[in-house]
Structure 1
Amino acid sequence: MSIQAFLRQGFIPFNTALETQWERLDELIPALAERAAHAAGTLGTPGKVALIGIGASLGAEGGPAHYLDAHGIPARRVNSGGDPRFDPAESILALSQSGRSRETVEMIRRSERPNLAVVNVSGSPLAQASDAVLELGDLSDSLASTIGYTASAAAVSMLAETWVHGAPRDSWSGIGGRLAAFLAANTAGVNTLVGWAHAAESIDLTAPEAQFGGAEAGALLLREVTRIPTAAFETRQYLHGLMESTRESTIHLVYRGEDNGQVLAALTSLGRRVLDLCPAGSAAIPGTLRIEIPALSELEVPLYLAALLQRVASQYCAEAGIDPDEFLFLDTGTKLDDNE
């Protein structure tokens, strides 16, 4: 398959993908849990693990890497665009929705470490190059990823839970319905965010380390679809000077962690437009738009963030007259042809 053929096959409109995403995710979850448990057993519980990827896939690995590390399995995220050195005791988990991300496939081909790939497209170059494979099932998706991202994030999270606990959590059942209900309950918040976006020159997403990967993926989605300059920042880094560039035209989306009270207090003191994304039951902070994230575990949080920002992006594009399926740069050499 040529890269031109790949880019034109199987994609559905962004808004169509959003309409069916949560029902499809709920249908997929039972099979995904079985596949994750099987794949985790095939590779075995790693002594150490490097989670490699690029773009949204690297973002989807952030929560699981933090979770593994916090539960006694040393783990790190690795940008497959770099040239890292792997520990002899380190296994590799590679994620690429297309299975054609050039940097990720080439890193697996060079590596001599035990490895497991998570892909959406069966028979892809990454699937062929890996020791073991967890396939999402050739899910139809839009060019700006919807279910490809949320299913990938769930799959890698289930792998992490299996390595730590022996099986994925039962709470994944019904996650699609809960995400749909979350969006329905926050229509007013979405409308406010979209209104802010029309006057925004930039958007900053801030999150603690455990949720930083989800923030990265969210920033990428907004950049791709709305074309508003958007960036993600880890909370402690943001406090060390990065927030100095805030302007009246900056929107701040802050996932509340242990230290984000400082970020919220500083920004609201300047009268900035701030979205406080906080765990359910958190105390309100004056001067912010507040949206509660009713996740049942920390690994679900990135899916809630993705759901919210996908909806914001869709509505913003509809109002601004932007086609969410029109990309300026379709082929930049980042995907492999079949003969490569």
Structure 2
Amino acid sequence: MNPDAFAADLHRKPEVLRRLAAALSAGNPWAEAVPADTERVVLIGMGSSAYAGGVAAARMRSRGLIATSELASSQLLPRWGARTTVVATSASGGSVETLDALDRLEGTTPTVALTNTTASAITERCDAVVDMGAKPEAGGVACRSYQHTLAMLLALECHLTGSSTAALAETVAAAAAASAYLLDTESDWRPQLSELLLGPSGTHLAAPAHRFSSAQQGALMLRECPRLPAVGCETGDWSHVDVYLTKTTDYRLLVFAGSPWETQLAEWTTARGSTVVGVGADVAGAREVLRYPGDTDDDVRLLTEVLVPELLAAAAWRSAAPSTA
């Protein structure tokens, strides 16, 4: 893991996303990978892969599809029988829990590997392979591959519902433009957000349920890179599980806007003087709000907004000790 290379990986996001948009405009990469008789989909993975899978499966269910996302480490994987396809996600292609889960599946279950690494162990275990197209991440941190996992699982949703990927390609291109804006203007907003959010008691992130992965992944970036305490929470659930800390700690909260439950959250954070920063739209009680082009489109938000905590993490990591094991 290397902080300078991680920062460079982030700065390549617009370029690599534009390539992905072009690929999706040319066709759906899942068309040849998923058996035609598929009626049920099981997504398995760990870490960032599981975060993306959770949102993707929920979206599929909202479209009437039978889909679930499970931690590959679980001993309770679905046994849905015929016409079930398992999608195993691992950017490196070597996640040991995911490989183990593949070994535990029924022998006749079709499997598709979603990976960023060709000729890896996962590609040898699965019946078909879909390339994320995120390019090698020299920093050793899954950043572009997380973003591309989301985009590729949205493409899977398109395939299973019989929809074209043309609109998705436009969304990915818009996310590339939004990412470029955040990178180009980082010096205007990042120092202030770092000051507000990286507190002595850690950082908390909240996102609406349909984009919960943004809070999970953003928190992971702060834990994995500069090794700072950080926790992701769903905005509605925040009032049931996280609110308690606003009374006893120097509470710092980044809110990815878009949940109908933000007003309830703001009642507590305002009353207790918590530090709140909004991203993507106005958030009640926020000391700062960061906007970017395309942030009125929910799918653009999904594919873009995690870059904000990633850049906070990159700056904190580079200013810390020379190396982090």
TM band (smaller chain): 0.7 to 0.9
2:117 to 114, 121, 128: 121
Q: Which runs of 5+ in 2 are unaligned?
A: none
**Matching residue of 2:30:** 39
**Matching residue of 2:91:** 97
**Matching residue of 1:135:** 131
Give 1:274 deviation, angstroms: 0.7
- AA matched with 1:123: A
Contact 2:16 2:135 in 1 (8 A): no
2:67 to 75, 80, 83: 75
**Matching residue of 1:336:** none
* Mapped pair 1:85 → 2:77: yes
Alignment partner of 1:178: what SS? helix
Contact 2:30 2:159 in 1 (8 A): no
* Mapped pair 1:230 → 2:222: no
Give 1:58 deviation, angstroms: 1.0
**Count of residues paired in the alignment:** 313
**Matching residue of 2:100:** 106
Return the alpha-carbon distance in structure 1 between the equivalents of residues 211 and 133 of structure 2: 26
- AA matched with 1:155: M
Alignment partner of 2:291: what SS? strand
Give 1:292 deviation, angstroms: 3.4
**Matching residue of 1:157:** 154
CA displacement, residues 51-105 of structure 1 (integer Å, 9 cap, x when unaligned): 1110111112233222111111122220111112312253222110001001111
**Matching residue of 1:170:** 169
Give 1:126 deviation, angstroms: 0.9
- AA matched with 2:146: Y
* Mapped pair 1:17 → 2:16: no
Q: Which runs of 5+ in 1 are unaligned?
A: 1-6, 329-340
Instruction: Tell me whether 116-125 or 300-309 shows the greater mean CA deviation.
Output: 300-309
For 1:58-69, list aligned pairs within 5 A.
Answer: 58-69=50-61
**Matching residue of 2:310:** 310
Contact 1:200 1:251 in 2 (8 A): no
Alignment partner of 2:305: what SS? helix
Alignment partner of 1:76: what SS? strand
**Matching residue of 2:263:** 261
Identity among equivalent positions (%) equals 21
**Matching residue of 1:210:** 210
Give 1:253 deviation, angstroms: 1.4
* Mapped pair 1:27 → 2:24: no
Alignment partner of 2:64: what SS? coil
2:46 to 46, 50, 54: 54
CA displacement, residues 112-139 of structure 1 (integer Å, 9 cap, x when unaligned): 3222211000011111111211013471
- AA matched with 1:64: A
Alignment partner of 1:39: what SS? coil
Return the alpha-carbon distance in structure 2 between the equivalents of residues 45 and 193 of structure 1: 49
- AA matched with 1:237: D
- AA matched with 2:131: E
Return the alpha-carbon distance in structure 2 between the equivalents of residues 182 and 23 of structure 1: 14
Give 1:161 deviation, angstroms: 2.4
Give 1:34 deviation, angstroms: 4.9
Contact 1:226 1:317 in 2 (8 A): yes
**Matching residue of 1:270:** 272
- AA matched with 2:100: E
**Matching residue of 1:290:** 289
The TM-score, its normalising length taken from structure 2, stands at 0.86
Change (3 A) 1:33 1:111: farther
Alignment partner of 1:126: what SS? helix
Contact 1:295 1:301 in 2 (8 A): yes
**Matching residue of 1:333:** none
- AA matched with 1:139: K
